[in-house]
Amino acid sequence: LPCHSSFTVTVCRSLCNISKGLGEFLEVKLTLDELNLSNQQLTKIMEKMIKEMVKGLGKDTNEDATVKMIPSYVKSLPDGTERGQFLALDLGGTNFRVLLVKIKEADEINGQPKIEMDSQIYRMPENVITGKGDELFDHIALCMADFLKKLDLLDHKLPVGFTFSFPCKQDGLDHATLITWTKGFSASNVVGKDIVKMLKTAIDKRGDLDVDIIAVVNDTVGTMTSCAFDDQECMIGLIVGTGSNACYMEKMSNIERLDSNKGGMCINMEWGAFGDDGALSDYRNEYDVHVDENSLNSGKQLYEKMISGMYMGEIVRLVLVKLTEDGLLFGGETSEALKTPGTFQTSYVSQIESAIPSGMTAVQNILANLGIGAMRADCEVVIQVCKAVSRRAAHLCAAGIAAVARKIKANHPDRETLRMTVGVDGTVYKKHPTFSQMMSEKVDELCAGAGVDVHFALSYDGSGKGAALITAVAQRKIGSDE
């Protein structure tokens, strides 16, 4: 055919468009590949985690460990005989929760004690989170008084369990020294201080509260305890929400920092700091580096920053901005909103992935709120970015749980197969449509042949109810002189 025929021109244009489209597809794929971790890589991460756990448990190596493996002094879980009325405090993010937990006589049908709870959520103002430490605890005491006043319990003496979801060094069940703030908190003059003493000081200043702080626990420990109340096979606690952490039951003989070989104790891993020594350098990318450098705690909590809800949406935003600037998305035109840090919320990731079966309207609405008009092809790319970021987070979390499961199994060499439950709480786990399934499936793959059978259970009201249950156990042991 003559080279100037209309048919030839049409074919050439089509081939050019196909070539251009294929090129853009490959460029997008290369970008998404940066967020993919193979089983071989995840296995290496798992092995690094196990080594760091052993290092954190060691008497002479703990100081240099990034995973601090903090003894929680929780040695016993509920046995069903606990009774009473307890106040629980739950601080771990921008919301502070106060709960009244009543443990009553056993139900005639299932034989389990009845638990009744009432609670209220109080917003933590930004100036309190980033202001003076004394003012932070004054605000907590104010919320406690407001809650008890509403229930007409100000004149009742109540034992208190305090869930404080930040890395702390514990020297007892009611002593916890803050190691470092995380999750956007930066209140001054608290790091290195006993947070129980600070709270008691704030309570005493008021003069209208009659409470006794019995236990301070991490939310992960509370989550595991709450789940163990219903499931005796629960040996691991996991939080995947604003932040991420895990705990598990360890043999006392393996906790070299404590002079005891009897029984076991729950270890608060503080695994969010895994990788702060460079152990994850081969698996982090430019987006992770950007998120870390622009965070309040640069250089810290690197594992958490690849997993948790505080950072997941921001990673998606950075990928979308890069694809747009490279001309691969939104016709190369971005918006001021999309270029602004923090605007792409992690809740958008869950909403977008939840909306996939019903079409693109929900995705287009979210993007419209960010000042972007998106075509179907754009929406499909956005969905793939969200999926890639979510999948990586779930798989990284799975590598950590697989490490913990294998560590527990090493304590039970006589068991051919050890069944264990992971009690989980946190908004990412609860609200993301596929995170829990992706994590569970990957744990099975990473634990194949290891002699462990890992199951996951949502721990309802874990951090709050768990703190109350731990307080109840402590009260029971005091009463029985155990």
Full-model pTM: 0.85
168 and 317 fall within a common domain: no
Does residue 251 fall inside a structural domain? yes
Does residue 243 fall inside a structural domain? yes
List Cα–Cα distances, 453 to 47, 227, 247, in angstroms: 19, 17, 18
For the domain that residue 189 is a member of, what is the CATH number?
Answer: 3.30.420.40
Whether 317 and 338 have beta carbons less than 8 Å apart is answered as yes
Structure-token pair, residue 302: 């690197």
330 and 449 fall within a common domain: yes
Q: Report how many domains make up the chain.
A: 2
Name the catalytic one among 183, 300, 305, 442: 183
Does residue 321 fall inside a structural domain? yes
**Residue 219 a catalytic site member:** yes
59 and 191 fall within a common domain: no
59 and 112 fall within a common domain: no
Query: What is the residue-level pLDDT of the chain in tens, covering all 482 positions?
Result: 444 455 454 444 444 444 445 456 677 888 888 899 999 999 999 999 999 999 999 999 999 999 999 999 998 877 777 888 999 999 977 889 999 999 888 766 666 778 889 999 999 999 999 999 999 999 999 999 999 999 999 888 899 999 998 888 888 999 999 998 887 899 999 999 999 999 999 999 998 998 999 999 988 999 999 898 888 899 999 999 988 999 999 999 999 988 888 889 999 999 999 999 999 999 999 999 999 999 988 999 999 999 999 999 999 999 999 999 999 999 999 999 999 999 999 999 999 998 876 678 989 999 999 999 999 999 999 999 999 999 999 999 999 999 999 999 999 999 999 999 999 999 999 999 999 999 999 999 999 999 999 999 998 777 788 889 999 888 876 655 54
Does residue 317 fall inside a structural domain? yes
178 and 313 fall within a common domain: no
155 and 277 fall within a common domain: no
DSSP 84-104: EEEEEEEESSSEEEEEEEEEE
366 and 389 fall within a common domain: yes
Name the catalytic one among 138, 174, 194, 219: 219
Does residue 343 fall inside a structural domain? yes
H-helix segments, 243-301: 286-293
438 and 296 fall within a common domain: yes
**What is the rounded radius of gyration, in angstroms, for the C-alpha atoms of the chain?**
25
What residues make up the domain containing 280? 37-70+231-461
CA distance 383 to 377: 10
46 and 115 fall within a common domain: no
207 and 238 fall within a common domain: no
Structure-token pair, residue 285: 């990318």
Report angle CA 140, 141, 147 to the nearest 5 degrees: 90
Does residue 13 fall inside a structural domain? no
Does residue 371 fall inside a structural domain? yes
H-helix segments, 308-417: 309-325, 346-354, 361-369, 376-410
410 and 283 fall within a common domain: yes
**Residue 60 a catalytic site member:** no
CA distance 147 to 118: 10
89 and 55 fall within a common domain: no
Does residue 223 fall inside a structural domain? no
